[in-house]
């Protein structure tokens, strides 16, 4: 539903155009909504004519002291039927529009959810998570609420204005012209307030996204903030954004709030003008009666009401436009290439993956003007345990992200068993490689669900063996319920235990190739030994890539690739590199100088 859209920077016109385009799937429901609004408008416009007749009947009867109550009752019943039918049509129109709005916002949320799975990781790396979260929550809510009110209100206002103008000219064209003279004043007021309010609403939505980003950042980094006594500084930083938001909202709502008082003043001015002109027409014998003036006063009210509604609808449309700009900006982000036509090349029936991996003059940069890896080449034979070491920022994690196709390379190629990863679908690559990341992550669910994750064919006996090899069996069995223990955000699990669970998760995955990214970064020395033993079992017979700052964990690697500034500066076994006395030897000795 939401494919396509405006490009960033198109502004309000592009947003409104995109909103209209995105409502096409609901055109029949909206058509019925407009039909009920039109019927309601006809009844609202026609009712004052009966009110005029009722007023004249009462005035004439009062003059002769003989009021025909039967005729008055008949007219009153007609008016009651008109206004009752008007209420029913209004209810049906509002019900349909509310239903459309809910389905519309559901479609947007679904489109955003699908989009999140298709945008490259680089998008999230360059933006605050809270800002993206604000698009999904606040901006979609704002758009839905504004659209619910704006669409039907605008059509109702236009219909009412048209109908009332026709009725006024039919009733008394002189008084109709009097009312028309006031319209330019209304339009000038509306245009002026609209020009002042729109930029502020758009700015407020952007500020709200920034505030959500700060909240998310402070919440996830709560322990760090407390540890460094930075609560005051972070509170002051948030308060600065909060004050900015407060001033922006106050300014925007103050401008928007002027619309209703301005319309009210103009309507009272119209009442006075109609009474004066009506009185002059009655004195001139033009056929204008008390009933005519009464009907006209109702028409003036009906005329003023849609003008105020139109102003409110424009206000809602401004908010919807500001929110939709951010939503469609996200929906128009570049996506990962479509791989629906790609077939699996290695994970096929009867084919056994060897595990030969080769980097051929790989070039990569997060942006064209910042190349991280200028020219990287390496050949890894099947079954080798390859350690990738180097200082922070050397390109170690970037290298495995390229191997997993989390990012696309700018030049060169990477092959697995001679097949380019560019020719394989990403799902196949992710099935080929098992990963243990530096950042451990536990999901809300049982221990069993966390360990098996995407695997459904692992028996309890196999899982028990995996937990023993990962060194996590004793800990799991001490939990209430063991494998069925439910873990959530309040469950207190140490970093080391989480790390062991992620290693067990990789074992359960049983992928032919393996990537360990700082797998021992969050554990103590004793746990490190357990993990080292588990990793030796895990990597046996598999081509594995181990990234580590703690060089003691990769001494038994078959090949050590030493990286600096995106290039391999040294390679070989631990003993060979130590004897060489180069960059690796300096790194190793700097860690164990005390020993």
Per residue in 62-95, pLDDT (tens digit) is 666 667 678 888 888 888 888 899 899 989 988 9
* pLDDT of the residue at 167: 81
Residue 266 clears pLDDT 60, i.e. is over it? yes
Which residues lie closer than 8 Å to 43 by C-beta, 6 or more apart? 82, 83, 85, 86, 89
| 224-258 tens-digit pLDDT | 888 878 888 888 888 888 888 888 888 877 877 77
- Return all residues near 117 (Cβ < 8 A) that are at least 6 apart: none
Each residue's pLDDT tens digit, 328-344: 888 888 888 877 778 88
Alpha carbon distance 134, 394 (integer Å) = 34
User: Could you give phi then psi for residue 273, rounded to 5 degrees?
Assistant: -65, -40
CA-CA-CA-CA dihedral for 134, 139, 144, 146, to nearest 10: 140
Task: Determine the pLDDT at residue 457.
Answer: 79
pLDDT at 155 over 60: yes
Give the residue-averaged pLDDT of 350-375: 85
Q: Is the pLDDT of residue 97 over 70?
A: yes
Read off the DSSP letter of residue 554.
G
Percent of the chain with pLDDT over 70: 90
Question: What pLDDT score was predicted for residue 595?
Answer: 47
Three-state DSSP class for residue 407: coil
What 3-state class would DSSP assign to 571?
Answer: strand
At 419-463, the pLDDT tens digits run 999 989 988 888 888 888 777 777 888 888 888 887 777 888 888
23-45: per-residue pLDDT in tens?
788 888 888 988 998 898 888 87
Question: pLDDT > 90: what percent of the chain?
Answer: 4
Which of the pair, 548 or 580, is modelled with greater confidence? 580
The confidence score (pLDDT) of residue 416 equals: 92
pLDDT of residue 567: 76
pTM of the shown model:
0.61
Round to whole Å and give the CA distance between 152 and 30.
9
- The pLDDT, as a whole number, for residue 5 is 34
Max CA separation in the chain (angstroms): 125
Report whether 43 contacts 167 (CB < 8 A).
no
Residue 312 has pLDDT above 80, yes or no: no
Kindly list the strands in the beta sheet with 419-420, ordered across the sheet, starting from the edge strand earlier in the chain: 370-380, 357-367, 411-416, 419-420
Tokens of 183: 């319209």
Q: Is residue 181 over pLDDT 80?
A: no
Q: Which domains does the chain have, with CATH numbers?
A: 11-331 (1.20.1560.10), 357-591 (3.40.50.300)
What average pLDDT is seen over the chain?
A: 80
pLDDT of residue 226: 82
What is the C-alpha end-to-end distance of the chain, expressed in Å? 64
Residue 373 predicted with pLDDT over 70 = yes
Helix (H, G, I), strand (E, B) or coil at 346: coil
| Residues 93/154, Cβ–Cβ less than 8 Å | no
| Residue 358: closest CA among 376, 342, 346 | 376
Task: Categorize the per-residue pLDDT at 1 as very low, low, confident or very high, splitting at 50, 70 and 90.
Answer: very low
The CA-atom distances, in angstroms, between 68 and each of 55, 62, 172, 415 are 12, 10, 27, 98
SS3 452: helix
CA distance 466 to 454: 15
Helices and strands per DSSP (H, E), number in the chain = 21, 12
State both tokens at 277: 């002109």
What's the pLDDT tens digit per position in 509-567? 888 888 887 666 556 667 667 667 777 777 777 888 888 777 777 788 888 988 887 77
């Amino acid at each position: 539903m939401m494919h396509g859209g405006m490009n960033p920077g198109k502004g309000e016109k592009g947003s409104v155009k995109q909103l209209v385009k995105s409502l096409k799937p609901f055109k029949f429901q909206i058509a019925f909504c407009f039909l009920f609004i039109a019927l309601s408008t006809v009844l609202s416009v026609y009712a004052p004519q009966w009110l005029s007749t009722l007023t004249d009947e009462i005035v004439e009867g009062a003059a002769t002291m003989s009021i025909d109550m039967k005729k008055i009752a008949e007219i009153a019943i007609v008016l009651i039927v008109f206004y009752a039918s008007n209420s029913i049509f209004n209810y049906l129109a509002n019900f349909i529009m509310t239903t459309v709005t809910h389905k519309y916002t559901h479609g947007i949320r679904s489109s955003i959810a699908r989009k999140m799975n298709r945008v490259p990781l680089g998008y999230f790396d360059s933006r605050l998570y809270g800002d993206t979260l604000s698009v999904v929550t606040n901006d979609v809510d704002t758009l839905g609420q504004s659209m619910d009110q704006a669409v039907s209100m605008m059509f109702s206002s236009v219909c009412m204005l048209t109908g009332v103008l026709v009725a006024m000219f039919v009733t008394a064209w002189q008084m109709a012209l009097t009312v028309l003279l006031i319209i330019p004043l209304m339009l000038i007021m509306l245009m002026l307030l609209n020009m002042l309010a729109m930029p502020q609403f758009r700015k407020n939505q952007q500020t709200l996204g920034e505030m959500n980003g700060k909240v998310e950042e402070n919440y996830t980094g709560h322990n760090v903030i407390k540890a460094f006594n930075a609560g005051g500084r972070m509170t002051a930083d948030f308060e600065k954004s909060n004050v900015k938001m407060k001033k922006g909202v106050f300014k925007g709502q103050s401008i928007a709030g002027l619309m209703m008082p301005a319309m009210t003043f103009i309507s009272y001015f119209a009442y006075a003008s109609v009474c004066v002109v009506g009185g002059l027409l009655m004195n001139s014998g033009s056929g204008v009666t008390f009933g005519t003036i009464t009907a006209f006063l109702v028409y003036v009210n009906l005329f003023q009401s849609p003008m105020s509604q139109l102003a409110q609808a424009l206000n809602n449309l401004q908010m919807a436009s500001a929110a939709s700009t951010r939503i469609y900006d996200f929906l128009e982000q570049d996506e990962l290439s479509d791989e629906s036509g790609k077939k699996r090349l290695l994970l096929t029936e009867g084919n056994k993956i060897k595990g030969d991996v080769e980097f051929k003059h790989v070039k990569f940069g997060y942006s064209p003007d910042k190349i991280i890896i200028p020219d990287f080449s390496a050949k890894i034979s099947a079954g080798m345990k390859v350690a990738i070491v180097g200082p922070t920022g050397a390109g170690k994690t970037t290298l495995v992200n390229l191997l997993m196709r989390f990012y696309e390379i700018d030049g060169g190629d990477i092959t697995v068993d001679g097949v380019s990863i560019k020719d394989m679908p990403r799902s196949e690559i992710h099935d080929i490689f098992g990963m243990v990341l530096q950042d451990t992550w536990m999901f809300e669910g049982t221990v069993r669900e966390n360990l098996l994750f995407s695997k459904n064919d692992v028996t309890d006996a196999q899982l028990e063996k995996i937990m023993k090899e990962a060194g996590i069996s004793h800990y799991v069995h001490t939990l209430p319920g063991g494998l069925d223990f439910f873990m959530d955000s309040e469950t207190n699990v140490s970093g080391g235990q989480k790390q062991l669970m992620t290693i067990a998760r990789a074992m359960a995955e049983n992928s032919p190739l393996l990537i360990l990214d700082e797998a021992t970064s969050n554990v103590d020395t004793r746990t490190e030994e357990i993990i080292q033993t588990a990793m030796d079992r895990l990597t046996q017979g598999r081509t594995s890539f181990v990234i580590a700052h703690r060089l003691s964990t990769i001494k038994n690697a078959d090949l050590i690739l030493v990286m600096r500034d995106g290039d391999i500066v040294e390679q070989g076994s631990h003993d060979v590199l130590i004897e060489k006395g180069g960059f690796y030897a300096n790194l190793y000795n700097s860690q164990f100088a005390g020993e």
